[in-house]
Chain A
Amino acid sequence: MHESILVYRRRRYLWAALGLAALSLLAYALHRTPEPPNGGTWLGYTLGTIGALLIVWLTVFGIRKRRYHSAAGKVEGWLSAHVYLGTALLVVASLHAGFQFGWNVHTLAYGLMCATIFSGFYGVYAYLHYPRLVSRNRGNLTLEQMLDNVATIDNQCLRIAKNAPDDIREVVTSAVNRTQVGGNTFQQLSGRDRSRVVLPSGDGSHRLRRNPDQERAIEWLAERLSRTSDGEVSATINELERLLASKKMMLKKVRADVRMQARLQFWLYLHIPLAVTLIAALLVHIVAVFLYW
């Protein structure tokens, strides 16, 4: 319904970026020097200056984003330009270096720059890919509402299990208590269900088992149902099975939401520190070049 950052204003910043890259390539192709191309020629300095200014400008995005009173263009336009010109920086900086790399601070700056840009590429992918999936997964619910739903189902399970035979009550209670959502960054990113449940085994002892999607608990209840002849108990189990099935659905949604939200956000925790480190390395690179000229 609306234009994304990639097509913003008929891709004006794509054309700008392509123009910058093409001009740099043309100059590089036409440039003739006695030594192999490097940062020390007039073209090398020119490209280096353009690249350094670009890097500074790209970090200014973080400031513009927080300048809420600013009337200097829409943030969407800034992001569109940030993406395309940031990509063009790859070309400009590579040509500036003349593809000469080594184990030194200069190449460190280059490497950090590439890492920053590639983490940004992932960001573009995530921003364009996940929102639609997140919205579809959520329907009209917020994450908070989904968690509320899970809690409501849990309470219903506990209430029903309160009057059930001991083994059923214990299994249901442990399934509720040991349901897990979220976790640290990696657990969120993987979206793996680390829920557990304590099940009685034949010898009277209890075992802690993995319970992804509540399936182990559902299986156990199904098996317990087959062993019972008490009408009231089987009605309770049927009701619990129904509740666990809807909890399973809701938990799947929650987990998918957490996973996708994490993927939408985690890359920024790389992109920003990398960019800050890059600025530091860039300063060292520039100072070093001028000191040891």
Chain B
Amino acid sequence: MAETLKVAVIGAGPAGISAAARAAATGISHVLLESSPAHAQTIQRYQKGKHVMAEPGVLPLRSDVGFEAGTRENVLSAWQEALNASGVSVRYSAETISIEGQRPEFRIGLNDGSSVSAENVVLSIGVQGNPRKLGVPGEQTPWVQYTLDDPDEYQGESIVVIGAGDAAIENAVALCGHNTVYIVNRKDEFARAKDGNLAQITRAIEEDRIRCFYRSNAARIEETPAAERPARLVLNTDEGEASVPVNRVIARIGAIPQRRFVESCGVAYPSDKPTAIPQLSARYESNVPGLYIIGALGGYPLIKQAMNQGYEVVEYILGNDIGPADEPLLEKKFRGLSYGSVSESLAAMQKRIPLFGPLNALVFRELMLDSEVTTPAPGETVFMLNDYTDSFFTILDGTVLVGRGAAQDAALPLAAGQFFGEMSLISGRRRTATVVAGENCVLIESPRRTIKKLLASNDHARRTIDNAFMLRAIQSSFAPDVPAAELMDVVEAARLNEYKAGTVLFAEGDEADSLHLIRSGSVSVSRNIGGRDIVTAYVPAGKYVGEMGLIGNTRRTATVTATVKTATISLDSQSFNRLLDKAPTLRERMQRRIQQRIVENTQMEAQPESGDLISFLMQQGLGEATDVLLIDSSLCVGCDNCEKACAETHNGTSRLDREAGPTYAMVHVPTSCRHCEDPHCMTDCPPDAIHRNANGEVFIDDSCIGCENCMHNCPYGVIHMAVDDPVPPRFWQWLLFGAGRAPGMESLAKPDPSTPKKAVKCDMCKDLDGGPACVRACPTGAALRVSPEQFAGLVHGGGDF
């Protein structure tokens, strides 16, 4: 039997390379095992020339291997050189089949039947998994591949892409420009794809740029030496076998998940959810002593973090108590706090804040890296009612006062350990209260993205925040005078519901059994009058619907439909009656509100065209808008000064298309950003370049990498890719001598085709004095910007915008 190594590193990605390099540098016996023939498989699979980022920028790199942002090729070759130079003992094409034992006696079984003994094992195999193979005759032939490096490498070929996920779609779409492309889908729709990719593949199939075999599977691949194409792929379809002559077959049928393998090594996962990550100590050790997990598999998908962990884990194995690389960052954040060292501070925070208590120490550390610790002076405003900020606050020390606008006397105090800001976090709408700091206040402010990630992966945190949200929503909407403790039974009976756009929450004539508080999204209320559905109201997040049925009648008097993806909290009639008993003024307030609704309804019924206008606006996605550009067609002379103003104030590219978009009742909705409350564009931005300002503007910052995700994700087509034109027109030269381009006219110079394009969209002219240039430049007053609160005024023909 061979010697027992000090450490075996499995997986030669950034984390594994860094760990092995550290082991080599410290001179301990080690081996780096890689299942594929080359290092960093995940990055090898990126498309050619793809920019690899070095985020987070503030985190220092701690590794014997260098890394900086650059193209995929540069990054890969730098790592290869570092591997060669550092004397790492690496075995390629050595797939690990099993890991048995624990410190100091691990036995690692490999695919060639050999085994490796090691005292410690570092598992850094990422989450991509090994690509799933076709498993059909002919899969070993040279025409089958599982990755696509450079789509431009192939021209005029016949290519079949097998799979219906994002990778398959992206490959097929990238190839279809210069090749005959087929895509093979096992099912009859592309249900797993991201919205943007779904739209692309659907369009490509409709336009015949890609041919799709639905409900089909690969049967075999056969060589055809005599034919025009070197091989043919035989498919099993509903209509029997079909045969496609091919130059190559690209199988993108997913990867074999790592979890089963990891569990077979004895590692425990905290839950059955696919997003769950193994339970790890602060030193990356799993429940199996001596088995360490780092990198994406441990929940750290960023390259720099993974490399730092590789370095650290070897130091930990050697018994060196080095602090993590982010230590100085946290030290700086915690300066001024009196809890001691960084780890003591982190522990104290987890102890003081029940929401964070049960979190994995590493997850909490990560959260704190993204968060800020602030110490506002007593009386300082943390945020104002109607601000658009959406960060989440936890109180580490002292108190804050939560009030509504001017009535700060009636403000509700919150003490250390509690949290606030969850309303805007969840709904994406403006702040529903003003929060003012009290004595000795210390707050932790976490970005929305970080907390949403936490909510998605941690059940405890989600339940805690959901319950608080429900309690506060119910309290502020119905029973502001009733103490929270008395509302607990009502909250427990409340339910969270989610509806897709267009779903009916309840229909006219249904039995009225519950009331809905809208948590995110919005709904429209309609009534059937004379055989026609007439929309009578639009209700945004934060308001409630269905109270009429509960108080007065027992049947629904109107139909309520989700205009966009909507979440509500529903209270059944029993709970609501309990609320009525507890809050004596509630019944009276509800009756007043119902009266008001009836008056509004009759007004709307008297002018059905207003209802039609509401439905029209909802169809245009205004149900999720926070600020939208509308054009009064009865005043618009078509001069395009709005577009010219937009282009001139935004480096030569207009972010709005005036003429495109539908018109109804003289209201024209141009193609222009709606600044959605939960922006679709933000959902998948790798560099996190899309942000929302306190005033509500959704904008893209300079870190855009031009990946086009936001463009594909926007359902309203308002984002496009453009090159900045840095040359502003010279007004007087143009006016007096006709030199250069006219203000508002397109650039004369053709942009250099090698200049990378970046995503551009409306930023509501946040950096300009005087507000949006489109509105200011409209000579006839036809252009106006409207927020949802103003729809009613708009619809009734009056109002002052």
Which A residues are closer than 8 A to B by beta carbons? 1-5, 8, 63, 65-71, 74-76, 78-79, 126-127, 130-132, 134-135, 138-140, 142, 261, 264
| Interface residue from B632, B638, B777, B779 paired with A134 (Cβ < 8 Å) | B638
- Complexed CA–CA distance, A67 and B644 (Å): 10
Q: A1-B666, A66-B744, A68-B743 are in contact. Are A135 and B775 (CB under 8 A)?
A: no
Q: Does B782 contact A (CB under 8 A)?
A: yes
For B, the interface residue count at a CB cutoff of 8 angstroms equals 40
Report how far A63 CA is from B735 CA in the complex, Å: 9
Residues B636-655 near A (CB distance < 8 A) = 636-638, 641, 644-645, 648-649
Task: Known A65-B641, A142-B659; judge A135-B633 contact (CB<8 A).
Answer: yes
| B28 on the A face (CB < 8 A) | no
* Bound form: Cα–Cα A71–B768 in Å: 8
Please tell me if the beta carbons of A66 and B743 are within 8 angstroms of each other in the complex: yes
Is B769 an interface position by the 8 A CB rule? Answer: yes
| Complexed CA–CA distance, A1 and B636 (Å) | 12
**Contact (Cβ within 8 A) A135 B663:** yes
CB closest chain-A residue, reference B735:
A63
Name 9 interchain pairs, CB-CB below 8 A, sorted by A.
A2-B781, A4-B780, A71-B769, A71-B776, A74-B776, A75-B641, A76-B780, A135-B666, A264-B637
> Are A63 and B731 neighbours in the complex by a CB distance under 8 Å?
yes
Docked-complex contact B773 and A68, CB < 8 angstroms: yes
Known: A66-B744, A135-B666. 15 other contacts (CB 8 A): A1-B632, A1-B667, A2-B781, A2-B784, A4-B781, A66-B731, A68-B644, A69-B648, A70-B770, A75-B779, A76-B779, A126-B637, A127-B780, A132-B666, A134-B638
Closest to B795 in A: A1
Whether B135 is near chain A, meaning CB under 8 Å from some CB there, is no
The CA-CA distance from A283 to B361 in the complex, in Å, is 81
Q: Does the CB pair A131–B663 fall under 8 Å?
A: no
Report chain A residues within 8 Å CB of B667: 1
**B731 and A131: CB pair below 8 A?**
no
B758-792 CB mask vs A (1 if < 8 Å, else 0) is 00000000001110010111111110100000000
Residues on A with beta carbons closer than 8 Å to the beta carbon of B638 = 131, 134, 261, 264
Complex: how many Å from CA A63 to CA B743? Answer: 10
State the Cβ distance, A71 to closest chain B Cβ, in Å. 3
Measured between beta carbons, the chain B residues less than 8 angstroms from A79 are 779-780
B224 to chain A, nearest CB (A): 39
Give the shortest distance, in Å, between B349 (CB) and chain A (any CB).
46
Q: Is the CB of B635 within 8 A of A131?
A: yes
**Contact residues in A for B430 (Cβ distance below 8 Å):** none
Q: In the complex the two chains form, is B634's CB within 8 Å of A132's CB?
A: yes
**A140 and B662 form a contact (CB under 8 A):** yes
> B768: which A residues are within 8 A, CB to CB?
69, 71
Q: Do A131 and B633 touch (CB < 8 A)?
A: yes
* A186-B591 Cα distance, complex, nearest whole Å: 65
Complex-state Cα separation, A70 to B648, whole angstroms: 11
Q: How far is the CB of B579 from chain A (nearest CB, A)?
A: 40
Chain A positions within 8 Å of B744 at CB level: 66, 68
Report if B737 contacts A (CB, 8 A). Answer: no
A68 lies within 8 A of B781 (CB): no
A78 to B778, CA, bound (A): 10
Chain B residue, CB-CB nearest to A74 = B776
Q: Which residues of A contact B527 (CB under 8 A)?
A: none
Q: How far is the CB of A122 from chain B (nearest CB, A)?
A: 13
Task: Name, among A75, A140, A264, the residue most crowded by chain B CB atoms within 10 Å (CB to CB).
Answer: A75
Measured between C-beta atoms, what is the minimum distance from A40 to chain B in Å?
34
A75-B743 CB under 8 A given contacts A69-B768, A135-B663, A139-B663: no
A135 touches B668 (CB 8 A): yes
Partner of B635, one of A4, A70, A74, A126: A4
Could you count the A-B residue pairs with CB atoms below 8 Å apart for me: how many are there? 98
Q: Which of A4, A66, A74, A127 has the most CB of B within 10 A?
A: A66
CB distance from B68 to the nearest CB of A (A): 37
| Known contacts A66-B744, A135-B668; is-contact A2 B648 (Cβ 8 Å) | no
Please indicate the chain B residues that have their CB under 8 angstroms from the CB of A264 in the complex: 637-638
| Residue with the greatest number of chain A CB neighbours at <10 A, chosen from B634, B797, B801 | B634
Interface flags for B680-696 (1: CB within 8 Å of A; 0: not) read 00000000000000000
Q: Does B707 contact A (CB under 8 A)?
A: no
Q: Whole-angstrom distance from the CB of A138 to the nearest CB of chain B?
A: 8
Most chain B beta carbons < 10 A, residue from A1, A75, A131, A132:
A1
Task: Say whether A2 contacts B779, CB under 8 Å.
Answer: no
Tell whether B25 is near chain A: CB-to-CB under 8 Å.
Answer: no
Cβ-based interface call for B660 (8 A): yes
Chain B hits for A261, CB < 8 A: 638
Contacts of B773 in A (CB 8 A): 68-69
User: Which residue from A5, A63, A142 sits with its C-beta under 8 Å from B780?
Assistant: A5
| Cross-chain contact A75 with B776 (CB below 8 angstroms) | yes
Tell me the smallest distance from the CB of B398 to a CB of chain A, in Å.
42
Q: How far is the CA of A130 from the CA of B639 in the complex (A)?
A: 13
Q: Contacting B663 at CB < 8 Å: which of A1, A67, A75, A140? A: A140
Complex CA gap A75/B638 in Å reads: 15
The 10 A-B pairs with the shortest beta carbon distances in the complex, nearest first, are A71-B770, A135-B633, A68-B648, A66-B743, A76-B781, A71-B769, A132-B634, A68-B645, A2-B632, A79-B779
Once the chains are docked, how many angstroms separate the CA of A71 from the CA of B776?
8
The winner among A70, A78, A130 for most chain B CB atoms within 10 A is A70
Question: Cβ of B355: which chain A residues have Cβ within 8 Å of it?
Answer: none
Q: Which residue of A lies closest to B731 (CB)?
A: A66
B666 and A8 contacting across the interface, CB-CB below 8 Å: no
Task: Return A183 CB to nearest CB of chain B, in Å.
Answer: 20
CB distance from A259 to the nearest CB of B (A): 14
In the assembled complex, the CB of B783 is this many whole angstroms from the nearest CB of chain A, namely 9
CB proximity of A188 to chain B, nearest CB, Å:
14
| A65 and B777 alpha carbons, distance in the complex (Å) | 7
In the assembled complex, the Cα of A138 lies from the Cα of B659 at a distance in Å of 11
Query: Would A65 and B779 count as touching, CB distance under 8 A?
Result: yes
Inter-chain contact A76/B666, CB cutoff 8 Å: no
Inter-chain contact B781/A3, CB cutoff 8 Å = yes
- B54 contacts the other chain (Cβ, under 8 Å)? no
The distance in angstroms between the C-alpha atoms of A85 and B625, with both chains bound, is 39
Instruction: Name A135's closest neighbour in chain B (CB-CB).
Output: B633
A62 to chain B, nearest CB (A): 9
Residue of B nearest to A142 (CB): B659
Rounded to whole angstroms, the CA-CA distance of A140 and B665 in the bound complex is 11
CB pair A74–B775 under 8 Å, yes or no, is yes
Given contacts A66-B731, A135-B634, contact A1 B659 (CB under 8 A): no
In the complex, A279 Cα to B777 Cα: how many Å? 25
Are A68 and B649 within 8 A (Cβ)? yes
A contact residues around B660 at 8 Å (CB):
142
B781 touches A5 (CB 8 A): yes
| B649 with A2: CB separation less than 8 A | no
Q: Least Cβ distance of B311 to chain A in Å?
A: 50
C-alpha spacing A3/B635, complex, angstroms: 9
Closest to B645 in A: A68
Q: Which residue of A lies closest to B644 (CB)?
A: A68
* Interface residue? B369 (CB, 8 A): no
| Closest beta carbon of chain A to B345's beta carbon, Å | 47
CB distance from B381 to the nearest CB of A (A): 28
B370 CB to nearest chain A CB (Å): 36
A213 to B663, CA, bound (A): 27
Chain B residues, CB < 8 A from A70: 770, 776
Chain A residues with Cβ below 8 Å from B735 are 63
Check A2 against B782 for contact (C-beta < 8 Å).
yes
Residue of A2, A4, A132 most packed against chain B (CB within 10 A): A2
How long is the Cα–Cα vector from A196 to B641 in the complex, in angstroms?
38
Chain B residues within 8 Å of A142, by CB = 659-660
A-chain residues with CB within 8 Å of residue B794 when the two chains form the complex: 1
CA distance A131 to B775 in the complex (A): 18
When chains A and B are docked, how far (Å) is the Cα of A5 from the Cα of B780? 6
